[in-house]
Amino acid sequence: MPKARIVVVEDEAAIRRGVSDALRLSGYEVAEAPDGVAGLREAGSAGVDLVLLDIMLPKKDGLEVLSELRRSNPTRPVILLTARGSEDDRVRGLKMGADDYVVKPFSAKELIARVEAILRRTMKPAAEVCLVSVGPGTIDLGRREVRWPDGGRADLSETEAALLKYLVSNRERAVSREELLSRVWGIGTAGLETRAVDMHVARLRAKLKTPTGGDNQPEAIVTVRAHGYMAGPALASLSS
């Protein structure tokens, strides 16, 4: 199960570093931002599970960041980090869609407890997919192999099986390359080439092509222009 990815948006370096260190020690993947502009960019990126957002930020204040984030990512969980004297801002933030708030100064123990509570509520595990049909063939994700009615078979690598499983488990939507890097490879996307995803998809498509299906068979993995990939009409989950 991939680690939850949390974005910490805080302009005070010491607090940002302390919060990030506490989260990493608790097993989370962390991205940091020192101002509202960078914070909005990080908080709105693919694969983020929770945002810790300070209200008083340079360049763009936290409530403005929250407002814009709610337009682009309406269900992304946000915990506000607030000063003691900002009750009005806390109330306003909750009305704008923040999920919780933590008042400064706070302990690492309290913060982690709030984070865990939000993630328990919002991170629903995907259905466990074990068998997937591909045309007349069957993909056994546990054994990592594709089996055809004529006795032919193709082996899948661990990454190919995980990639296919993630696409089928999220078949109702297109999944970005960045999200796949985060969720399947378990790595952040800053500065990384997404070509690795494209190469794995190309190999998977070749392995999932029906041997006797010709050139007009339904696609197993569909490319969604300017976004990423999604499970195609050739794939159907047989078990969960």
Whole-model pTM?
0.59
The CATH classification of domain 5-122, taken from the options 3.40.50.300, 3.40.50.2300, 3.40.50.1860, 3.40.50.1110: 3.40.50.2300
User: What is the reported pLDDT for 52?
Assistant: 97
**Quick one: tokens of 80?**
């506000």
Location of structure tokens 């696409």:
167
pLDDT of residue 238: 79
Q: How far is Cα 84 from Cα 87, in angstroms, rounded to an integer?
A: 7
Give the closest residue to 180 by CA, choosing from 192, 165, 163, 195: 163
Nearest Cα residue to 175 out of 143, 95, 196, 184: 184
Domain ranges of the chain: 5-122, 131-237
**Residue 127: its pLDDT value, please?**
55
H-assigned helices in 73-128? 87-95, 108-122
Q: Does domain 131-237 have CATH number 1.10.10.10?
A: yes
pLDDT of residue 214: 60
Strand 153-155 and strand 137-140: the pairing is unpaired
Give 49: exposed, middle or buried? Use CB within 10 Å, 0-12, 13-18, 19+.
buried
Check residue 135 and give its pLDDT: 86
- Residue ranges of the chain whose pLDDT lies below 70: 1-2, 84-86, 124-129, 187-194, 213-216, 239-240
Dump pLDDT digits (tens) for 180-225: 887 787 765 544 566 888 999 999 999 998 877 666 678 899 999 8
Phi/psi of residue 123, nearest 5 degrees: -95, 95
Query: Are 47 and 69 contacting, i.e. CB atoms less than 8 angstroms apart?
Result: no
